Amino acid sequence: MKSPFNLQNITQYQEWRKGKFDNAINFNSANIDFLIDIKDTSQLTSLEKKTILDSCKQNSMCLYRITQETQNTKNSIHELAQQIGLNDLDSNICADNDSLTSITKTEHKGQHEYIPYSNKRLSWHTDGYYNKDDKQIHSMLLHCARPAKDGGESFLMDHEIAYILLRDENPDFIKALMQADAMTIPANILDGKVIREAQSGPVFSIDKQEQLHMRYSARKRNIEWKQSTPILEAVEYLDNLLDSDTPFIGKYMLKAGEGLICRNILHRRSSFEDYNETDKKRLLYRGRYFDCLPLSI
**d(Cα 33, Cα 145) in Å, to the nearest integer?**
20
User: Is residue 119 situated within a structural domain?
Assistant: yes
DSSP string covering 72-118: -SHHHHHHHHHHTT---B---TT--TTS-EEE-----TTTTTSGGGS
Instruction: For residue 212, count other CB atoms closer than 10 A to its CB.
Output: 20
Phi and psi for 124 in degrees, rounded to 5? -60, 140
Q: Amino acid identity of 136?
A: Q
User: Is residue 86 situated within a structural domain?
Assistant: yes
If you count DSSP H runs as helices and E runs as strands, how many of each does the chain have, helices first? 6, 19
| CA 288 to chain CA centroid, nearest Å | 9
User: Is residue 152 situated within a structural domain?
Assistant: yes
User: Is residue 178 situated within a structural domain?
Assistant: no
Whole-model pTM over 0.85: yes
Kindly report the CATH number assigned to the domain that includes residue 66: 3.60.130.10
User: Is residue 222 situated within a structural domain?
Assistant: no
**d(Cα 90, Cα 107) in Å, to the nearest integer?**
23
Please tell me the total count of domains within the chain: 1
User: Is residue 24 situated within a structural domain?
Assistant: yes
Instruction: For residue 270, count other CB atoms closer than 10 A to its CB.
Output: 17
User: Is residue 107 situated within a structural domain?
Assistant: yes
User: Is residue 125 situated within a structural domain?
Assistant: yes
> Which residues constitute the domain of residue 102?
10-162+249-289
From first to last of the 297 residues of the chain, give the pLDDT tens digit: 689 999 999 999 999 999 999 999 888 776 667 899 999 999 999 999 999 999 999 999 999 999 999 999 999 999 999 999 999 999 887 889 999 999 998 765 554 456 678 888 999 999 999 999 999 999 999 999 999 999 999 999 999 999 999 999 999 999 999 999 999 998 877 777 877 788 999 999 999 899 999 999 998 877 999 999 999 999 999 999 999 999 999 999 999 999 999 999 999 999 999 999 989 999 999 999 999 999 875
Instruction: For residue 200, count other CB atoms closer than 10 A to its CB.
Output: 14
